[in-house]
Structure 1
Amino acid sequence: MAFALSKSVLPRLLPAYKCARSIPTRPCTRPLHRSLLSRSESAPYFSRTLASLARGRTETFQIRPSGPQAEQEEAFRLSPLDLIVTQNYSTWALIFKLESADTAAIAETFKRALAATLGQCRHFVGTVEKGEGGSFSIVKKPDSTARFDVKWLDGPGDDFPSFAELERAKFSSQSLGDPGLLTIEGMSMASKRPPGTSPEVSGFQLTFIPGGMIFNVHKHHAVCDVTGTTSLVHQIADHCYSIRHGTPPPAWDEAFMDRSRFIPPPVDPKDQVQPPPPPPRHPDWLPCSWLLFHLPQSRVAELKQLAAPGDGTQISTYDALTAFLWRVMMRNRAQIYLPDLSLPAVFLESVNMRGRLTPKVSERYQGNLLCGGLSQLQEKQLTLGEVISEVPLPRLAAYIRQITAGVDARTLEGFLAAMTPVADVSAMHSRLDIFPPMSLAVTDWRRATMCARDFGFGRPAAAKQIADVVYENMMMIYPQRPAPEDSAAAADQGLEVVIPFETHAVDLLIQDPDMQKYFEFVGYEAGAP
């Protein structure tokens, strides 16, 4: 999760919670298993290495952008909105069904589509480099490339689940197994690469599995948010379709890469201020897991009715869902951390600003354009006791709506003004672990329509974030999966939500009567015991 916070807000986000214990925790990661013995050779738009692994076979290509600007050196200046975000990679896996296919031809289609896409979306190739006055830019040089791994795990000895098995498991990350098999080493979610370390901005992996394939997009979060990633995925898909069917290639608008609207004017060095030291990780966090739950469509309607005010006012699915889960999570976490229930409840959410500005910004914009909705900025904050039980659920849903509605163009303007004199904005990047264990941060990915485009060999059946780390207070609402062929299942497709909870006590949440009434537990997304 990543969004803009002004430095003046930070001191208000660290209430002194009284907890029953103070136990240091550690990232919930899984080891990455990869060993490449390679040789290189040249090809028209890529160079290639071959690797023999204990499981499957891998070919690694270095994709060079095609097109008229491929040989030019370019620098794409990053805005404060790009620098304030988490400094890790984000990895999105698109899972396809393949009845029978020429895997070599599909891999070739992806190579050509990636070269064409990177020739248009040119800030997705290269590295982040530091410039003058504390600025950072994505620098694309004539020899810049993006890594593309093609892996075959579809053989009888590879012991990887088939597409049919993944579908039966509702594509939970637990069913996919070791995330290291599906991600490029050094580009997983747990890989922290600050802008000052010249991180590569992207990488791609295509993995063939029995009856299907998984296409994984890795991008450094400084490049763009999930909406920008969706824009990139659509461009790749349209190029794949064009290559497969001989149709005209997709157009591209340079404005989708233009961050100038969100880059403040330079400040004289003598007027710059140094960023404050980063807050420490909150000491009371216990190791957590991410759990995947399914909410059938019929239950969505029931939740909305449960959270609806009595005056006939409409309530959104987001408000109802988030209010319900905030209440259930805090009620169960209170049994673990024993907090002072009179303290303010800390709630954060990331808000896509593209449609909240005048003029509006295109949904195809490939940059970070998020601001934070914060309970701490409300005139009257709800307490933990009120969130857990003391106010009706419709009041809690209305409170969330109030927080969301308060994020507007002035929020963004205030953030940019606060960041203008800061010598190095990246030093103030967002971290959720500074907040106490009874906090909740929500990100809504339902509009990330990565499965909407036909790649020429079909649409993805699911889009998943491949995680090898858990953010202990971050809840994610997944993009809705395409309706399955079975008509009964399609009618009740509903929503999927990833919820963090303390690993040693997950049964508290899974067996909660309210959760069991509305939600189906699907499996672990990360941090399985």
Structure 2
Amino acid sequence: MGKGRHDMISTIVVYSSLLGNPSLPPHRPLIQLTCPELESGGYTNAPTYLPTGKIPSFKPITMSPKQAEKFLDEDLDITGNASCLDMHIQLCLCYDMPESSPISAGDAILSLKNGLEMLTRSLPWVAGQVVYEAPNKTHTGRMKIKPLGQTPTLIVKDLRQEPSDLSMEELRQAQFAFRLLDEQAIAPIASYSGAITGPKPVLLIQANLISGGLLLTVAGQHQAMDYPGMGQILRLLSKACHGQPFSAEEIAAANLPRYRLIPFLDDSYQPGPELYRRIIPPARPADSTQGPSANFTPSSWVNVIFEAVSLATLKRVAERDLSTHLGFISTDDALTAFVWKAIVRARISRLRPDEEATLSRAVNIRHLFDIPEEHPGMVTMCVYDTATLKALAGEPLGTTASRLRSELDHEKTRLASITRAAVTMLDRSTDKGILNYMGTIRTNIDLMFSSFSKVDAYGVDFNMGLGKPEAVRLPLPPADPGIVYALPKRPDGQVVLAMCLEDRDIEGLKNDRDFQQYGRFI
């Protein structure tokens, strides 16, 4: 393969220690394949090695740009055109693989490779990259999926030879705290786009071999998929690894024409107050009195575990003071309200009690537009709850949870029509930054909460022979305060939160007896 050619190939990165050959240095290249499009981007710039032995010889079949264009010129969902989503969402699935296991790493990787090939045959866009197509006579600018490789990149990294020598037992003892799961070590690409100088692949996977285990990190470009969408991709990939054919419904839902799944309003629509917080007004001139680090406060990511019994108790406590006209709340409502109130209590001593604070809550809106739940795109919108700090800190849990539930009553809140208005303005504008999921969130006062606890990441085994994952976590990204994620629920009902807050807020939570009664820091 010539150095100057941009052949589109599958990329597999494998280290020689996989072969168990003591005569080879651990990181010696065996066969090197080059994918120029990926060499400079994120963490995918590792050398690409291909072993012989357990993993059969892999002969890439390239697709010419002209051929690929027939299959890959896909407009993203209109919501995915928001530039604030230019990042990769990730999950790390932790599998037990004892040294005594009859299953070899080569067998596991081969299953993943075969599954990716089968997945791509039915969903060719998963092998593509997200690119911006500039405005022209027909549109105001579009995010599209364009050709990149024959299949999504699969990277295999052997960490057993690293000085840190992370082990499955060490992770288990630490309850898989993601302080041990640095994305620079275990993720195929950086989460935030500022660290990516190359292409932005739709899907990448990195299999990390550690002592006694395998950490499988999956990264999806957020403009192409939300977490429910990633969950669907994981399910289909696992099905493909088992050699099971996809149903016609699964293929149809995965390959829907995306851009107009949420219908736009007609030309007569003019924006009004319904778009407050969702559409960002033009930026005001920067305050010259503040330097770039004037508002910097040390922040960190932490994990907090909520066991099933704690979640059930929280829901029962909240149900004592229901005030929603809907007459019910979900466990997610109770957990979100509980965490939101606790964070407010941690902050209120340094803020004015009459200061208003806003919770931005990401919600799946597929059902509002009859979009199949199996559609693996980006179909999420945020709803907002605003109250004074004093009210939030003092009101019963059920009152807060009821208000959060009422925000999801789309008939009362007109969420469907507001969403249509927001995406109409996004379609009209050449500035794709006007739709911002963080809205006007101030990270030291407000909060962004996203729950993907319903994503069935614990149900996939990819036919690797390792069983289901023992834990599902996020790779540790750079600090980005004001965010809380509820990770996929474990089969026994346990939910783990990934929270990035200012360090002083974290200390406040650690000293909050009510919070400690239900949640446990790890």
* TM-score bin (small chain): 0.7 to 0.9
Whole-Å separation in 1 of the counterparts to 2:315 and 2:520: 17
Q: Is 1:182 matched with 2:186?
A: yes
Q: How many residues align?
A: 452
Aligned 8 A contact 1:433 1:471 in 2: no
Q: Is 1:349 matched with 2:361?
A: yes
Q: Name the structure 2 match of 1:526.
A: none
Q: Name the structure 1 match of 2:297.
A: 286
Whole-Å separation in 2 of the counterparts to 1:368 and 1:93: 20
Alpha-carbon distance, 1:499 to partner: 2.6
Higher mean C-alpha deviation, range 293-302 or range 437-446: 293-302
Alpha-carbon distance, 1:369 to partner: 0.6
Q: Name the structure 2 match of 1:475.
A: 484
Q: Name the structure 2 match of 1:319.
A: 333
Aligned 8 A contact 1:349 1:441 in 2: yes
Q: Name the structure 2 match of 1:108.
A: 110
Alpha-carbon distance, 1:445 to partner: 0.8
Alpha-carbon distance, 1:399 to partner: 1.5
Aligned 8 A contact 2:11 2:153 in 1: no
Q: Structure 1, residues 401-449: CA drift from partner, whole Å, max 9, x if none?
A: 1223236322322222332321232464444685251101111111111
Aligned 8 A contact 1:371 1:411 in 2: no
Amino acid at match of 1:404: L
Whole-Å separation in 2 of the counterparts to 1:56 and 1:92: 26
Aligned 8 A contact 1:331 1:388 in 2: yes
SS of the aligned residue for 1:346 comes to strand
Alpha-carbon distance, 1:46 to partner: 3.5
Aligned 8 A contact 2:358 2:441 in 1: no
C-alpha change, 1:326 and 1:407, in structure 2 (3 Å) is: farther
Whole-Å separation in 2 of the counterparts to 1:420 and 1:516: 46
Q: Name the structure 2 match of 1:162.
A: 167
Q: Is 1:299 matched with 2:310?
A: yes
Q: Is 1:209 matched with 2:213?
A: no
SS of the aligned residue for 1:253 comes to helix
Q: Which of residues 68, 72, 76 is equivalent to 1:72?
A: 68
Whole-Å separation in 1 of the counterparts to 2:121 and 2:364: 27
Alpha-carbon distance, 1:480 to partner: 1.1
Alignment of 1:236-251 (within 5 A): 236-242=237-243, 248=245
- Structure 2 unpaired stretches of 5+: 18-24, 29-46, 51-57, 271-278, 287-291
Q: Is 1:339 matched with 2:351?
A: yes
Higher relative contact order (CA 8 A, sep 6+): 1
Q: Structure 1, residues 64-112: CA drift from partner, whole Å, max 9, x if none?
A: 7999x99431200123300224211222211111241211222122122
Alpha-carbon distance, 1:255 to partner: 3.3
Q: Name the structure 2 match of 1:228.
A: 229
Amino acid at match of 1:520: R
Amino acid at match of 2:300: S
Whole-Å separation in 1 of the counterparts to 2:345 and 2:485: 19
Aligned 8 A contact 2:263 2:420 in 1: no
Q: Name the structure 2 match of 1:438.
A: 445
- Pairwise CA RMSD of aligned residues? 3.9
Whole-Å separation in 2 of the counterparts to 1:64 and 1:400: 51
Q: Is 1:395 matched with 2:399?
A: yes
Q: Name the structure 1 match of 2:96.
A: 97
Q: Which of residues 115, 120, 134 is equivalent to 1:118?
A: 120
Q: Name the structure 2 match of 1:451.
A: 458
Alpha-carbon distance, 1:143 to partner: 5.5
Alpha-carbon distance, 1:289 to partner: 1.3
Q: Structure 1, residues 203-241: CA drift from partner, whole Å, max 9, x if none?
A: 221111122211111222111100111111111111112
Identity %: 21
Amino acid at match of 2:80: D
Aligned 8 A contact 1:282 1:436 in 2: no
Whole-Å separation in 1 of the counterparts to 2:381 and 2:148: 35
Q: Name the structure 2 match of 1:420.
A: 427
Higher mean C-alpha deviation, range 438-447 or range 300-309: 300-309
Higher mean C-alpha deviation, range 75-84 or range 197-206: 197-206
SS of the aligned residue for 1:72 comes to helix
Alpha-carbon distance, 1:314 to partner: 3.6
C-alpha change, 1:55 and 1:294, in structure 2 (3 Å) is: farther
Aligned 8 A contact 2:78 2:260 in 1: no
SS of the aligned residue for 1:482 comes to coil
Aligned 8 A contact 1:56 1:158 in 2: no
Alpha-carbon distance, 1:159 to partner: 3.6
Q: Name the structure 2 match of 1:517.
A: 517
Alpha-carbon distance, 1:144 to partner: 5.4
Aligned 8 A contact 2:322 2:328 in 1: no
Aligned 8 A contact 2:202 2:224 in 1: yes
Q: Name the structure 1 match of 2:383.
A: 373
Aligned 8 A contact 1:75 1:137 in 2: no
SS of the aligned residue for 1:361 comes to coil
C-alpha change, 1:170 and 1:356, in structure 2 (3 Å) is: farther
Alignment of 1:128-147 (within 5 A): 128-131=131-134, 132=136, 133-141=139-147, 146-147=152-153
Alpha-carbon distance, 1:470 to partner: 2.6
C-alpha change, 1:322 and 1:65, in structure 2 (3 Å) is: farther
Q: Name the structure 1 match of 2:36.
A: none
